[in-house]
Structure 1
Amino acid sequence: MDSFKRNATEEVRATLRTYRGRQYMDLRIYYLDDAGEYKPTKKGINLSVELLGELTRVVGNLAKAVEAEQAAAAAGPAAEGGGPPAAK
């Protein structure tokens, strides 16, 4: 379905699978073997497609939290109250 590089030898794949007549989303880490082919690891998560809305909500909230932390870090220590005291 879709994937992205995790590092030089691993990628994360998102696939749709059917098991016993039910559909599942599989998010799994794959590694590059000696033959140059990607193979699945045990590291991953398998969720019912019925949880897609919840997964999307949680990832969206996580993205907002990351953006907020990055904005605070870019603003510097003064924005976080860690700068010198204000003059009176």
Structure 2
Amino acid sequence: MNGTEHALWVSVIIVGFVVVIAVAALLSLLIYLIKRIDKRVDTIGATLTAAKANTANTVLIPQVATGVDAVLAEGLEHHLFLGRVLGKVKS
């Protein structure tokens, strides 16, 4: 093997090592990113489970709204009654 062939073989081997190292680095980065995505998916799953628990009693909202409407209607009746009574006293 002459000097030129030897230099080419050394160059090819060096390029091969660089490619192998680059591929290993990219695969390591890919594994890291996949683990990070998995952790975030678990966090999102926990958040959705908590949201489901927080909204489990939403069927009570219409009942509460009806009760609030009834209290407001009663308060309006008292307000109107007192307005009529106090309006007659001032006259």
Greater Rg over alpha carbons, structure: 2
Normalized per residue, the structure richer in helix is 2
TM-score in same-fold range (> 0.5): no
Q: TM-score, normalised by structure 2?
A: 0.34
Normalized per residue, the structure richer in strand is 1
Higher RCO, 1 vs 2 (CA within 8 Å, ≥6 residues apart): 1
